[in-house]
A and B are shown apart, each in its own frame.
Chain A
Amino acid sequence: SGSGSGSARAQPLEPSLLRFLVCPLSKRPLRYEEATNELINEELGIAYPIIDGIPNMVPEAARRTHKKPPAEGSEQP
């Protein structure tokens, strides 16, 4: 992990991409989470990372997001 620390110098996602991008597995829409620089599939509870401005949209790269209380969005280990 340690992806949170990388987001300081992370390049933002090209905004126009959000029009096209979906989860490769379910083909359902994604939510862009600026805090962690990830694309989240809420339904499946997975997040795809954006590295150097390039979204990594292969299932192998996704991590599970855990249901967390609506407090701080702390990074799961």
Chain B
Amino acid sequence: CRCRALLSRPAGALRARRGLAAGPEMHFGFQTVTEEERREKIYQVFETVAKKYDVMNDSMTLGIHRVWKDILMHKMNPCPGTLLLDVAGGTGDIAFRFINYVRSVRQRQLQRKLKHHQNLSWQEIFESYQKDKFNSLGDSQVVVCDINREMLKVGKQKAQHLGYSEGLSWVLGNAEELPFDDEKFDVYTIAFGIRNVTRIDLALQEAYRVLKPGGRFLCLEFSHVSNPLLSRLYDLYSFQVIPVLGEVIAGDWKSYQYLVESIRQFPPQEELKAMIEDAGFFKVDYENLNFGIVAIHSGFKL
């Protein structure tokens, strides 16, 4: 029968080996909790908000999160044949954008190819359409990995509803302990997810492991606003408006309180850059969006 934690993993020894020197106390938003409590609480947050996640994103960011994600995709600029691992990708926003992007790149590729074959017969043109019809993504693939079952459920339903099936798969897994083989993926993304990972260093190490040499790490996350006036306005909006929206729209003040607090607790741009470098990535850089409300960090495995 299935029991939790069946395997006798010596948790203490594991943590010591992983260098969890900072003691058992961690932050959950502005609260102090143990590592285990933090994981549990975060799981519960997303379990609760899963069904309203997209609606809340639109309300809180006035739809701007869509632009941020579009920018991420343009920065990635994937070509057909790319293998993407989208971690903490629950409801599929990045995955769907990826599929749309490679599909349109592929379309243009095919059109250019056809234009060059000026002397083909109708029969030949027809056959080339048939052949490529079954490869509209050019062998591109995206694997969405998330630790939360409810978020994945929502994502899968969205995919069905929007007609995404080809080149897309879903895995329940932990960013700190990925169930993927070494050097398999061309790109690794984590959008608005790394903030909720308890051991960011482990997640970055795992990201490095699963990427092919030459592969790219991309992280889209809330970050720090340095401009003092903007920072005040942002704080005001975050602490006064967002939890209220959370209560009104999702019936859940506490989860959104956690959200705004966790943003404040998350390392700022330079610190995250250093952590990414520590994991072995090269050419680590970041781009601020909206004055640092959000930042995209990028690194390469060489």
Contacts and interface: CB of A to CB of B under 8 A. Distances in A.
Interface size class of B (residues with CB under 8 A): 20 to 34
Contacts of B169: 14, 16-17
A3 B2 contact: yes
Nearest to A75: B1
A24 B7 contact: no
20 contacts: A1-B1, A17-B143, A20-B181, A21-B180, A21-B181, A22-B179, A22-B180, A24-B174, A29-B181, A44-B7, A52-B156, A54-B149, A54-B156, A57-B173, A57-B174, A57-B179, A58-B174, A62-B6, A63-B1, A64-B6
What 9 A-B pairs have minimum CB-CB distances, sorted nearest first? A57-B179, A1-B1, A24-B179, A14-B169, A57-B173, A24-B177, A56-B172, A63-B2, A22-B181
Nearest to B1: A1
Contacts of B6: 46, 62-64
A58 B173 contact: yes
Q: Of B1, B170, B172, B179, which is in contact with the most chain A CB atoms at under 10 Å from its CB?
A: B179
Interface in B1-46: 1-7, 9
Interface string B121-164: 00000000000000000000101000101001100100000000
B177 A25 contact: yes
Contacts of A64: 6-7
B199 interface: no
Interface of B: 1-7, 9, 141, 143, 147, 149, 152-153, 156, 169-174, 177-182, 184-185
Contacts, number: 83
Contacts of B177: 24-25, 58-59
Given A54-B156, A59-B5, 20 more contacts: A17-B143, A17-B171, A20-B143, A20-B184, A24-B177, A24-B179, A46-B7, A49-B2, A54-B149, A54-B152, A54-B172, A55-B179, A56-B149, A57-B172, A57-B173, A59-B177, A60-B5, A63-B1, A63-B2, A76-B1
